[in-house]
Amino acid sequence: MSQGEDTAGDYEKWDFNEEVELEKRKRRKMPKGALSFLTSSPERAVALLYVLLAFTFLLFTILTIVNLRRVSAAWEALEQARQRSESSHTTAWHNLSDVQSALDKQLSGQLKAIRSRLQNVSQEVENVRWKVTQCNAEELSGRLRVLEQRDALEPVLRQLAEVKEEQSRASALLDAALEETRNLSEILCTRCPAGWQQFAKNCYFFSTDTKPWRAAMDSCTEFNAHLVIVDSEQENKFLANRIMENRVFWLGLSDAHKEDDWQWVDGLPLPLYFRFWNNGEPNNVGHQGEDCATILPNGRWNDATCSNTEPWICERGCCPRRASKTGLNQQKP
């Protein structure tokens, strides 16, 4: 063999070894498993991606439907609860009205009996007074006739003075009895006029019209009443329970004379320990300020502009001859 042939054989061996080495390197760099499958077949990789996207979209759609059904069920449950609450509220209001009507009928019967007794007592007192007056007059006449036959002037004057004194004592006793009868009649008086609602021994009128605060106060004065003055937490709850709609009513409370110096219409100040202001109130916002108080359906108070037109609540004593909280004599409107 010649030297050229040996050299050609060596080149062929070197090329073969180099190809083997390159093949090994490619195998080392090639990804394994799924990546090898993807790199070896791009069409299959694209198809697999589409399948994964379709599966993801289907899963998302199923989850969305399930969540929508849950939300719908929760919404239906809330709506049913709201309807049950409204039904309970309406039923409670009707039951309260029935109870109040029954109490009114019972009190009406009792009051008629008491008034009948009072009339009998008054008649008896008047009869006694008339009899005493007649007896005193007859006795006086008799004594005068006897004294006319006497010449002594001093005994006559003394006896006349005694008769007058006895008559004065009898009249005073009769006047005291009549006054006690009138006071008893006023204490037992628990009847409110038509259109007014009763709480304790006072009557309340809830207007359906709307007026500014000052005009509302004048309207109450026409009924010998005044804008409502809240004296207790029970009275405040009574007022709030009568406000069935989403409305506000004027109270007899204002600080128009001096800011933050809240006073009732009877001139008495609002105590610091007895206030039902809503959160953040009173805040006196606006260009005109807020100097008049209103009551909300939840029983909380709010300051408002006095020129606003709102419904109002009047208050007066339940008996026409009783005095209101402002000391005014009450009469039927």
pLDDT averaged per 10 residues in sequence order, the chain, 333 residues:
54 63 64 53 82 90 90 88 79 71 73 74 70 66 64 68 78 69 54 90 95 97 96 95 90 95 96 92 92 96 96 86 43 31
Q: Is 311 a member of any domain?
A: yes
Quote the pLDDT of residue 206.
96
149/238 same-domain check: no
Q: Is 162 a member of any domain?
A: yes
**Separation in Å, CA 264 to CA 21, 124, 165, 270, 331:** 106, 44, 49, 7, 22
The interaxial angle of helices 153-187 and 42-148, nearest 10 deg, is 160
Please give the Cα distance from 141 to 94 (Å, whole number): 69
End-to-end CA distance of the chain: 147
Q: Which residue has the tokens 């090994």?
A: 24
306/222 same-domain check: yes
Quote the pLDDT of residue 126.
72
Q: Is 157 a member of any domain?
A: yes
Predicted TM-score of the model (pTM): 0.45
Quote the pLDDT of residue 331.
33
- And the tokens for 191? 């009847």
175/252 same-domain check: no
Q: Is 312 a member of any domain?
A: yes
Shortest CA distance to 205 belongs to which of 196, 216, 192?
196
Q: What is the CATH number of the domain that holds 251?
A: 3.10.100.10
Please give the Cα distance from 98 to 280 (Å, whole number): 38
Q: Is 129 a member of any domain?
A: yes
154/217 same-domain check: no
Q: Which residue has the tokens 């390197």?
A: 25
175/205 same-domain check: no
158/224 same-domain check: no
Beta strands in the chain (DSSP E): 197-199, 202-206, 226-227, 249-254, 263-264, 292-295, 301-304, 313-317
Quote the pLDDT of residue 112.
75
Quote the pLDDT of residue 219.
97
Shortest CA distance to 293 belongs to which of 332, 263, 323?
263
Number of domains composing the chain:
2
39 neighbors 26 (Cβ within 8 angstroms): no
Q: Which residue has the tokens 């498993």?
A: 33
> Of 187, 205, 236, which closes a domain?
187
Alpha helix (H) residue ranges in 149-271: 153-187, 213-222, 233-241
> Of 187, 217, 241, which closes a domain?
187
178/222 same-domain check: no
233/178 same-domain check: no
Q: Is 63 a member of any domain?
A: no
Starting at the edge strand that comes first in sequence, how are the strands of the sheet with 301-304 ordered?
Answer: 263-264, 249-254, 292-295, 301-304
